[in-house]
Structure 1
Amino acid sequence: MPERIDKELEEFRRVMEVPSTFEDGFNWLSFLGALFVALLMVPGAIYMGLLAGVGIGPAAQWVTVILFIEVARRAHRNLSRPEIFVLFFMAGAAMGVPFTGLLWNQFFIHSEAASAAGIAQGLPRWFAPPLELKE
């Protein structure tokens, strides 16, 4: 019985070749990308989240990658796939912003809307520090 070959499976296997060598993607460029995300993108995302109630989402990852690809192109340098991979996922990890919930809680308890509705006074202390700290 002849061996049956699945054409779709073979096409899928040819999409990406398994690399024969390991390339390190973490270098000074990815470190600069992390600084860029930490100093510009994260504060912008926090501000946008507090102001509009909507986060930047995955756009920050792509903005970082595209910006660094363009800067590298202007410097006559190509980014390798591992460098792009590290930039993309480092930006995503930083944009996760695990402490934005704490900033939102503090913003909410001090907002005029929460005070006018009487919600701010009824929120527990563990949610956010109270408006007036008692000494």
Structure 2
Amino acid sequence: MTQYVCFSIVLGTAFLCSKTEVRKVNGKKLNEIKKVLMSEKGYIRIGSHTKERLRVRGYTKGDIVSCIMKGRLCEVQYGYNHTIGQNVFSYVVEGKDSSHNPIVVVLSEEGQSQFLVVTVMPPTDRNRFFDCIG
């Protein structure tokens, strides 16, 4: 049986787990992001650089919402967030935009129920994404 490395955000530790457990963890985090999107508890913000990239790539805020609501969490990354000055988890969500075209949204976790949209892009890497363009 294949084992995967999982990270406990609460405990700050790594442990081996199954593919089913990875899906559960990813599903819980995506549900948390959806709850933030649909409620007034927390925020999902878009920085000025990301807004400009959205415009250049032809995406809208509605495309981000569509991707989050109908997509799947396909990667969890850990890296430096320049805005808050610390290492945090980032979540790569693969889904469809409001025109049903493939789209990827990357969100960085800034705190409890607080997220920053890092980038929005078309999926082009067939090794990372299920539904690619081109």
Using the size of structure 1 for normalisation, the TM-score is: 0.22
The answer to which structure, 1 or 2, has the higher relative contact order (CA under 8 A, 6+ apart) is 1
Normalised by the size of structure 2, how large is the TM-score? Answer: 0.22
* Structure (1 or 2) with the larger CA radius of gyration: 1
